Amino acid sequence: MSKKSNNGIKQRIVFIQILIVISIFLLGAKSFDIQIFKAKELSRKAENSYSRHITIKGERGQIFDRNMNKLATSIDAFSITACPLKIKEPGPVAKKLSKILGINQGKLKKTLSSQNMFAYLAKGISPDQAEQIRKLNLDGIYFENDAKRFYPNRELCAQVIGFTGTDDSGLEGLEFKYNYVLEGKILKIKIKKDGNGGILDIDKGKREKLRGKSIVLTLDKKIQFLSEQILEKTVKAHQAKSGIALVMRPQTGEILSIAHFPQFNPNNFKQYNHIVFRNRAVTDAFEPGSAMKVFTAAAALENGFEPKSIFFCENGTYKIGRFTIHDTHHYDWLSINQIIKFSSNIGAAKIGEKIGDKALHNYLTAFGFGNKTRIECPGETSGRLSPYQKWSKIDAGTISFGQGVSVSAIQLISGISAIANDGVLMKPLLIKKIISSTGENLKVYHPEKIRRVISSKSARRVKTMMRLVVEAKGTGSKAAMVGYTVCGKTGTAQKALKDQKGYSKDNYISIFTGFAPEANPELAILIAVDEPRKQYYGGDVAAPAFKTIMAESFSYLNIPPEKNRDMVVLVSPGEQH
**289 phi-psi bin (left φ>0, alpha ψ -120 to 50, beta other):** left
Q: Identify residue 95 by its one-letter amino acid code.
A: K
For residue 188, give the H/E element and its range.
strand 186-193
Q: At what angle do helices 456-470 and 293-302 cross, to 10 degrees?
A: 140
340 Cα distance to chain centroid: 34
Catalytic residue among 214, 290, 458, 572: 290
Transcribe 465-495 into DSSP letters. HHHHHHSTTSTTGGG-BTTB--EEEEEEEEE
Opening angle at CA 140, ends 137 and 144, nearest 5: 85
| Cβ-based neighbour number of residue 567 at 10 Å | 21
Catalytic, 309? Answer no
User: Three-class SS string for 108-129?
Assistant: HHHHHCCCCCCEEEEEEECHHH
Alpha-carbon distance 487 to 470, whole Å? 7
Alpha-carbon distance 349 to 318, whole Å? 9
CA distances from 369 to 169, 192, 209, 315, 406 (A): 33, 60, 45, 31, 8
Alpha-carbon distance 373 to 85, whole Å? 58
Burial degree of 80 (CB within 10 A; 0-12, 13-18, 19+):
buried
Phi, psi for residue 568 in degrees, rounded to 5: -115, 135
440 within 8 A of 428, measured Cβ to Cβ:
no
Alpha-carbon distance 198 to 50, whole Å? 9
391 Cα distance to chain centroid: 35
What is the torsional sign of CA 506, 512, 513, 514?
Answer: positive
Annotated catalytic residues are 290
